[in-house]
């Protein structure tokens, strides 16, 4: 039996005793008034009053304890529910994703097609727009060669490495695996110096990495790599997937 049930039983007993003492006390006072013999039963009356006050105090304390205990149990149950009910968590995440206005983000991130943009300028503009919206400190884009499984770097944002970004084939490295699986990869707490950011203040290592495949006709034609000091919230995954669909049609022209 848990503490909450024990407190309830004690409170019920105390309430019953309180009512009994109050009933006897009321009868005693009534008889004393009728008999005009208040001095004779003064001790009995005093004992009954003290007992009534004591029981009332016990009841008050028990009500306070039970209420606090019940709130604590409710909170624990809610936390346990959130930790263990994966299905409902997924539903809640979906509801949050639906609250994000994807069309607004798409307009901000995807630049309008222009004859002035070749594939390099276009992807660098994309990277810059992504950086503004999601606090990205470094970004890369790799475009798949038409007749092979090789992905070549065609766009950079805030990249200042001693070596140029390495190209990769389908299935090679993290980005190659993302291209093969066609699923977004959201990594937290990546190893120190996995990505290095250089600035006038020195160098530092972001802890979060996001890799997004760009898919067209069920084939990965491009891959984005983003690094950030802030976590990429999972609620934006649906948005990234939508952007991937839209970009697939545009980048397929290159």
Kindly report, residue by residue over 189-229, the tens digit of the pLDDT.
887 766 766 555 556 788 899 999 999 999 999 999 999 99
d(CA 229, CA 22): 68
Pick the range with the lowest mean pLDDT from 10-19, 71-80, 169-178, 205-214. 71-80
Euclidean distance between CA atoms 127 and 140, whole angstroms: 7
pLDDT confidence band for 85 (50 / 70 / 90) = very low
- Boundary (domain end) residue, out of 49, 84, 119: 84
In a domain, 234, yes or no: yes
- Predicted TM-score (pTM) above 0.95: no
Q: How far apart are CA 113 and CA 129, in angstroms?
A: 14
Task: Answer yes or no: do 205 and 160 share one domain.
Answer: yes
Q: Stretch 233-239: mean pLDDT, rounded?
A: 83
With respect to residue 70, please indicate whether it lies within any of the assigned structural domains: yes
Strand partners, 186: 210
Would you state the pLDDT for residue 177? 94
Task: State residue 201 phi and psi, 5-degree precision.
Answer: -90, 0
Domain that holds residue 57: 3-84
Whether residues 61 and 108 fall in one domain: no
Max avg pLDDT among 71-75, 86-90, 224-228 = 224-228
* Residue at 228 is within a domain: yes
CA distance 74 to 14: 25
């Amino acid at each position: 039996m848990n503490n909450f049930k024990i407190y309830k039983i004690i409170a019920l007993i105390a309430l019953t005793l309180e009512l009994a003492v109050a009933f006897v006390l009321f009868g005693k006072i009534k008889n004393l008034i009728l008999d005009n013999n208040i001095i004779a039963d003064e001790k009995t009356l005093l004992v009954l009053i003290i007992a009534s006050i004591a029981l009332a105090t016990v009841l008050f304390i028990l009500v306070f304890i039970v209420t606090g205990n019940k709130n604590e149990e409710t909170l624990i149950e809610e936390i346990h529910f959130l930790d263990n009910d994966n299905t409902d968590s997924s539903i809640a995440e979906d509801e949050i994703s639906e609250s994000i206005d994807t069309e607004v983000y798409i307009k901000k991130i995807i630049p309008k097609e222009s004859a002035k943009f070749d594939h390099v300028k276009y992807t660098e503009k994309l990277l810059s727009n992504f950086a503004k919206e999601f606090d990205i400190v470094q970004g890369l884009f790799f475009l798949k060669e038409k007749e092979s499984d090789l992905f070549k770097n065609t766009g950079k944002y805030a990249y200042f490495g001693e070596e140029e970004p390495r190209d990769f084939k389908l299935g090679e490295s993290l980005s190659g695996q993302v291209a093969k699986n066609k699923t977004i990869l959201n990594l937290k707490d990546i190893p120190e110096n996995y990505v290095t950011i250089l600035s006038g203040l020195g160098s530092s290592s972001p802890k979060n990495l996001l890799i997004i495949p760009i898919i067209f006709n069920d084939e990965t034609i491009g891959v984005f790599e983003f690094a950030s000091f802030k976590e990429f919230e999972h609620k934006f995954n649906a948005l990234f997937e939508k952007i991937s669909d839209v970009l697939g049609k545009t980048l397929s022209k290159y």
